[in-house]
Amino acid sequence: MATASAGKVRHPKGRAIIPTEQSGLTWLTAFLDSSVGAKVVVALGGIGLALFAIFHMLGNLKIFQGPDALNTYAFFLKHDLGALLWLARGGLLGIFLLHVVLALRLKWRTAAARPVGYAYPGHVQARVAARTMALTGIVVGLFILFHLAHFTFGWVHQAEQDGRLISYLDLRDAHGRHDVYTMVLAGFRTTWIAALYLLAQVALFVHLIHGIPSAFQTFGLQSRRTMEIIRGLGWLTAGVILLGNVLIVTAVWLGWVGTS
């Protein structure tokens, strides 16, 4: 892509950024090169990821219905979906990469917009969540990598059964299915792992209380009249995700679940 980005300032008299003759590719380049266009894609990705986070949390609440419910659900996701599983995984990865790469590229470019800062910094209404989007985003991103290494690949930690250490992926239940329930118990009964998960949930919450209302603004879907409601929607959505996930982790950690 022939974009003059990379944190450098484009020359005010540089080449026209709006191509006169249009092909699909030049259109895409111009759209992604513009600060609003790139932001729209970041916001679309963010909303996609947030929706995923909601359904992921809701599905995992099955842990409160007991081992059978959770393992059946996990089996359904992994086997009954078939090719759809790979479609969903590919789609999620694509959305995640688009979100992260475009957001960080915008940040990197904008870092050049004020080379000399103020000696006396001040602000009136900038919320902490708004100013720390890149930071909370990076924490969430690192956590997602950890989460995959932990539960999807089983690299981080092993379960203990009858005094033996067993890889997460080798755990089987009475029906011969992958015993996700025991795996989750093994994970969250370990204090440092539980603490890490809780910390990441707070970062995600802070990312979303700004991110969700901000996405509405980016799509142009709010006015002064609806601003407060949309901000409330952000708090509510982020709060529900936080509550659900924290409930799962603490319930296992404190032994409310799985001490039969």
Partner 1 sequence: MKVTLHIWRQKSPADQGRFVTYSLDQVSPDMSFLEMLDMLNEQLIQQGEEPVAFEHDCREGICGSCAMMINGLAHGPERGTTTCQLHMRSFPDGAEIYVEPWRARAFPILKDLVCDRSALDRIIQAGGYVSVGTGGAPDANCLPVPKTAQDKAMDAAQCIGCGACVAACPNASAMLFLAAKVSHLAHLPQGQPERHERVRKMLAQHDREGFGHCTNIGECEAACPKEISVEHIAQLNRDYIAASLLSLVR
CB 201 within 8 A of CB 245: yes
Under the binding rule (CB under 6 A), the answer on residue 46 touching ligand HEM is: yes
Whichever of 43 and 193 has its CB closer to ligand HEM, that residue is 43
Whichever of 182 and 218 has its CB closer to partner 1, that residue is 218
Residues in contact with ligand HEM, shown as a per-residue x/- string from 188 to 217 under the rule CB under 6 A = -------------------x---xx-xx--
Under the binding rule (CB under 6 A), the answer on residue 37 touching ligand HEM is: no
Helix (H, G, I), strand (E, B) or coil at 222: coil
* Among 98, 133, 171, 206, interactor with ligand HEM by CB under 6 A: 133
Helix (H, G, I), strand (E, B) or coil at 213: helix
Neighbour count for residue 187 (Cβ, 10 Å):
22
Stretch that binds partner 1, among 57-65, 68-76, 121-129, 249-257 (CB under 8 A): 121-129
CA 230, CA 250: separation in Å to the nearest integer? 30
Under the binding rule (CB under 8 A), the answer on residue 142 touching partner 1 is: no
Under the binding rule (CB under 8 A), the answer on residue 148 touching partner 1 is: no
# residues near ligand HEM by CB under 6 A: 25
Whichever of 53 and 183 has its CB closer to ligand HEM, that residue is 53
Under the binding rule (CB under 8 A), the answer on residue 165 touching partner 1 is: no
Q: Which residues pair with 164 in a beta bridge?
A: 161
CA 242, CA 200: separation in Å to the nearest integer? 10
Tokens 């729209």, residue?
40
CA 83, CA 60: separation in Å to the nearest integer? 22
**Binds 12: which of partner 1, ligand HEM, none (CB < 5-8 Å by kind):** partner 1
Under the binding rule (CB under 6 A), the answer on residue 178 touching ligand HEM is: no
Contacts of 204 (CB under 8 A, 6+ apart): 53, 136, 140, 143, 238, 241, 242
CB 142 within 8 A of CB 207: no
* Binding residues for ligand HEM (CB under 6 A): 39, 42-43, 46-47, 49-50, 53, 99-100, 103, 106-107, 133-134, 137-138, 140-141, 207, 211-212, 214-215, 218
